[in-house]
């Protein structure tokens, strides 16, 4: 421990702590802007570029950034002197002098770290008139909008993209007042190797990076009497949407969410979890098939669209190892516009399928050419959890006081196995629950595979399935995925199956979720809620989903059979 004094209080803190961390232990919150520290997910932005967190350290002539200055024995720090406060204000005023004055219409209005900092520091006027940037927004992609004029060069997105995701898309472009972070040579995002994981969006403190907005198109569809509009909700949305309405992180809001969607006017409210169970029937079949017929191993899960983009861009020589299963989102769209449309006698061209997803890459996935056969796409519009919340506010729906209700029948049933898709490790755990029973012919009693759970970037588990020692690998964040893929490429991988999710914690930490503002506890609480919701279910194995079984009986035939292949499987391209 190191002994020191902050604002006259003597404290002892672990050696290696920063002044910022030390101050926090005694309830002193030093303002920050560029700083971001989600340590357990290895997401740490340490550039210390903004200088908002400066403090006075006795004996040092210049102010020190609290986020990157380590404590030392006998250090005496003040976080509240007139000089400190003046300097912080000046730093923020300079940033504001170079920032567009459009808070009213900004997508991050009331959710912007720069705006809240200006409020916290009580800034009411700006002394300088800075040069404003005047770039066009980059609207080239189906998922992410980049507005360089709002970039404050905090470099959070760059750290995320380059160090955590190892995608290397983002770096500084231009100089001085005109500098911003973007793809090299400022090429359009759509022409880069961006995976659309959206983690840059998740950590951008301003609206320099946001999602493509589908809310207007969804309202238009809901108000079009010729359209039959169905909605599906992803597993991770129900454990996060409540945060937008003041519920504690980790609250489960499934029933209210369903009622809210019905009140918005959707003709049918369905669950992506239904399609996740369907995915497991296909994916577990594929895994068993590959194991029993000496197929290509390990098999990789394929439901995370950013991860799919990543291996297409970065590992084009390994395109035969991912599962050929479409993601649950896309399987849902396909089944809605075939089986469900036929059952109800609705012309699929008049059906609009909307998804509510924790993810921005799902917008790009829904627009992939090979998944948008014929004249209509399978999934037409994708809302993030945040956009869904905004629409509810716009409609004046009092989320907190809504009664709970259930999903509609035919594509609304789900098991616990499908719910755990929402956090990394859950997809493969769900697949093992089913594959175990299929391979051994015995009932699996304890369905919880705790070795597959947690927040570590790479996890391994071995499950005894009859005579087989089934070896499972799990990774979240693309940098960790890269390590597992490099092992495969080098012929060193021992796994039968690997689950990969691009975002920290999986979909619960997706780029379309309510902003976590750097609080890792929020992501962990969502994860606990996912496992709690699984335990709440009587049926916890995908092959127990009656609606899925009926779909096979009435329409698809056998899992992994011809019709299932035609409708539920896809291919990848470099």
Q: Which residues are catalytic?
A: 283, 286, 303, 323, 362, 365, 370, 507
Interface with ligand SF4, residue 165, by CB under 6 A: yes
Interface with ligand SF4, residue 207, by CB under 6 A: no
Interface with ligand HC1, residue 199, by CB under 6 A: no
Instruction: Please give the Cα distance from 239 to 92 (Å, whole number).
Output: 35
Residue 197 interacts, among ligand HC1, ligand SF4, none and using kind-specific CB cut-offs from 5 to 8 Å, with ligand SF4
- From residue 68, alpha-carbon distances to 25, 55, 167 in Å are 16, 11, 25
The DSSP code for 16 is T
Other CB atoms closer than 10 Å to residue 347's CB: what's the count? Answer: 11
Interface with ligand SF4, residue 254, by CB under 6 A: no
| The one among 235, 389, 425, 511 contacting ligand HC1 by CB under 6 A | 235
| The one among 169, 287, 304, 381 contacting ligand SF4 by CB under 6 A | 169
Q: Which helix (H) or strand (E) holds 523?
A: helix 520-535
SS3 state at 61: coil
Interface with ligand SF4, residue 161, by CB under 6 A: yes
Residue 169 interacts, among ligand SF4, ligand HC1, none and using kind-specific CB cut-offs from 5 to 8 Å, with ligand SF4
Of the two residues 24 and 313, which places its CB atom closer to ligand SF4 in the complex?
Answer: 313
Specify the residue for token string 């304890």. Answer: 446
| The one among 50, 173, 321, 507 contacting ligand HC1 by CB under 6 A | 507
Give the nearest distance from C-beta 22 to ligand HC1 in angstroms: 37
Interface with ligand HC1, residue 431, by CB under 6 A: no
Q: Are 493 and 382 in contact (CB under 8 A)?
A: no
Residue 198 interacts, among ligand SF4, ligand HC1, none and using kind-specific CB cut-offs from 5 to 8 Å, with ligand SF4
Instruction: Please give the Cα distance from 88 to 82 (Å, whole number).
Output: 10
Interface with ligand SF4, residue 196, by CB under 6 A: yes
Window 309-348: contact mask with ligand HC1 (x via CB under 6 A): ------------------xxx-------------------
Question: Rule CB under 6 A: which of 333-352 touch ligand SF4?
Answer: none
Instruction: Please give the Cα distance from 80 to 201 (Å, whole number).
Output: 32
H helix runs in 415-477, sequence order: 416-419, 426-440
Of the two residues 106 and 530, which places its CB atom closer to ligand HC1 in the complex?
Answer: 530
Instruction: Please give the Cα distance from 436 to 395 (Å, whole number).
Output: 46
The DSSP code for 556 is I
**CA-based end-to-end distance of the chain:** 52
Give the nearest distance from C-beta 328 to ligand HC1 in angstroms: 3
Instruction: Please give the Cα distance from 195 to 156 (Å, whole number).
Output: 17
Instruction: Please give the Cα distance from 250 to 239 (Å, whole number).
Output: 6
Interacting span for ligand SF4 (CB under 6 A) from 74-82, 84-92, 101-109, 195-203: 195-203
On the 0-12 / 13-18 / 19+ scale of CB atoms within 10 A, 129 is exposed
Number of residues counted as binding ligand HC1 (CB under 6 A): 19
Residue 435 interacts, among ligand HC1, ligand SF4, none and using kind-specific CB cut-offs from 5 to 8 Å, with none
Pairing state between β 36-38 and 43-45? antiparallel
Of the two residues 182 and 322, which places its CB atom closer to ligand HC1 in the complex?
Answer: 322
Instruction: Please give the Cα distance from 213 to 217 (Å, whole number).
Output: 9
Residue 510 interacts, among ligand HC1, ligand SF4, none and using kind-specific CB cut-offs from 5 to 8 Å, with ligand HC1
Interface with ligand HC1, residue 506, by CB under 6 A: yes
| The one among 161, 276, 364, 551 contacting ligand HC1 by CB under 6 A | 276
Cα torsion angle, 272, 275, 280, 283, sign: negative
DSSP 109-176: TTS-HHHHHHHHTT----S--PPPP-PPPB--SSSEEE-GGG-----HHHIIIIIIS----EEEES-G
Residue 507 interacts, among ligand HC1, ligand SF4, none and using kind-specific CB cut-offs from 5 to 8 Å, with ligand HC1
Residue 221 interacts, among ligand HC1, ligand SF4, none and using kind-specific CB cut-offs from 5 to 8 Å, with none
Of the two residues 126 and 364, which places its CB atom closer to ligand HC1 in the complex?
Answer: 364
Beta bridge partners of 138: 146
Q: Are 423 and 505 in contact (CB under 8 A)?
A: yes
SS3 state at 430: helix
| The one among 170, 260, 325, 564 contacting ligand SF4 by CB under 6 A | 170
Instruction: Please give the Cα distance from 118 to 308 (Å, whole number).
Output: 40
Interface with ligand HC1, residue 510, by CB under 6 A: yes
Interface with ligand HC1, residue 201, by CB under 6 A: no
What backbone phi and psi angles, to 5 degrees, belong to 468? -90, 135
Residue 328 interacts, among ligand SF4, ligand HC1, none and using kind-specific CB cut-offs from 5 to 8 Å, with ligand HC1
Residue 13 interacts, among ligand SF4, ligand HC1, none and using kind-specific CB cut-offs from 5 to 8 Å, with none
Of the two residues 180 and 266, which places its CB atom closer to ligand HC1 in the complex?
Answer: 266
Of the two residues 168 and 265, which places its CB atom closer to ligand SF4 in the complex?
Answer: 168
Interface with ligand SF4, residue 202, by CB under 6 A: no
Instruction: Please give the Cα distance from 12 to 74 (Å, whole number).
Output: 10
User: In the complex, which residues of this chain contact ligand HC1 (CB under 6 A)?
Assistant: 234-236, 272, 276, 303-304, 327-329, 357-359, 362, 421-422, 506-507, 510
């Amino acid at each position: 421990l190191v002994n020191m004094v902050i604002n006259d209080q003597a404290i002892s803190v672990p050696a290696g702590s920063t002044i910022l961390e030390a101050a926090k232990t005694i309830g002193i919150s030093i303002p920050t802007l560029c700083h971001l520290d989600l340590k357990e997910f290895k997401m740490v932005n340490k550039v210390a570029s903004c200088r908002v967190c400066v403090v006075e350290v006795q004996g040092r002539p210049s102010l020190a950034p609290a986020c990157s200055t380590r404590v030392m024995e006998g250090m005496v720090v003040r976080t509240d002197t007139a000089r400190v406060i003046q300097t912080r204000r000046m730093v923020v005023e300079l940033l504001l002098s170079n920032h567009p004055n459009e808070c009213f219409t900004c997508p991050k209005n009331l959710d912007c770290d720069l705006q809240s900092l200006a409020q916290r520091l009580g800034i009411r006027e700006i002394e300088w008139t800075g040069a404003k940037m005047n770039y066009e927004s980059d609207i080239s992609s189906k998922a992410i909008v980049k507005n360089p004029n709002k970039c404050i060069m905090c470099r959070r997105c760059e750290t995320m993209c380059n160090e955590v995701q190892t995608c290397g898309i983002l770096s500084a472009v231009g100089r001085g007042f005109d500098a911003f972070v973007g793809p090299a040579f400022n090429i359009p995002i759509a022409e880069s190797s961006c995976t659309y994981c959206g983690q840059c969006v998740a950590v951008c403190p301003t609206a320099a990076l946001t999602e493509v907005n589908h809310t207007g198109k969804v309202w238009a569809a809901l108000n079009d009497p010729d359209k039959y509009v169905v909605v599906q909700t992803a597993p991770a949305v129900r454990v996060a949407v409540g945060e937008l309405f003041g519920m504690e992180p980790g609250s489960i809001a499934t029933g209210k969410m369903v009622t809210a969607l019905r009140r918005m006017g959707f003709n049918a409210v369905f669950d992506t979890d239904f399609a996740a169970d369907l995915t497991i029937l296909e994916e577990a079949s594929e895994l068993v098939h590959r194991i029993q017929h000496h197929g290509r191993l390990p098999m990789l899960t394929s439901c995370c669209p950013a991860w799919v983009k990543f291996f297409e861009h970065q590992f084009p020589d390994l395109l035969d190892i991912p599962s050929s299963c479409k993601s649950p989102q896309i399987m849902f769209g396909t089944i809605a516009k075939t089986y469900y449309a036929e059952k109800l006698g609705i012309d699929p061209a008049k059906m609009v399928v909307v998804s509510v997803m924790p993810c921005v890459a799902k917008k790009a996935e829904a627009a992939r050419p090979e998944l948008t056969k014929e004249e209509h796409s399978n999934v037409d519009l994708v809302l993030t959890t945040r956009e869904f919340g905004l629409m509810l506010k716009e409609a004046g729906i009092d989320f907190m006081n809504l009664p709970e209700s259930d999903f509609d029948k035919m594509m609304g049933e789900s098991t616990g196995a499908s719910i755990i898709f929402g956090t990394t490790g859950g997809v493969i755990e769900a697949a093992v629950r089913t594959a175990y029973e299929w391979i051994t012919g015995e009932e699996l009693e304890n369905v919880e595979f705790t070795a597959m759970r947690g927040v570590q970037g790479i996890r391994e588990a071995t499950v005894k399935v009859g005579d087989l020692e089934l070896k499972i690998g799990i990774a979240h964040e693309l940098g960790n995925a890269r390590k597992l893929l490099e092992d495969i490429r080098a012929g060193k991988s021992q796994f039968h199956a690997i689950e990969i999710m691009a975002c920290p914690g999986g979909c619960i930490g997706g780029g379309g979720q309510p902003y976590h503002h750097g609080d890792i506890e929020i992501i962990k609480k969502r994860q606990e809620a996912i496992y709690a919701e699984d335990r709440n279910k009587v049926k916890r194995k995908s092959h127990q989903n009656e609606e899925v079984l009926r779909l096979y009986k009435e329409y698809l035939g056998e899992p992994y059979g011809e019709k299932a292949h035609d409708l539920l499987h896809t291919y990848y391209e470099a």
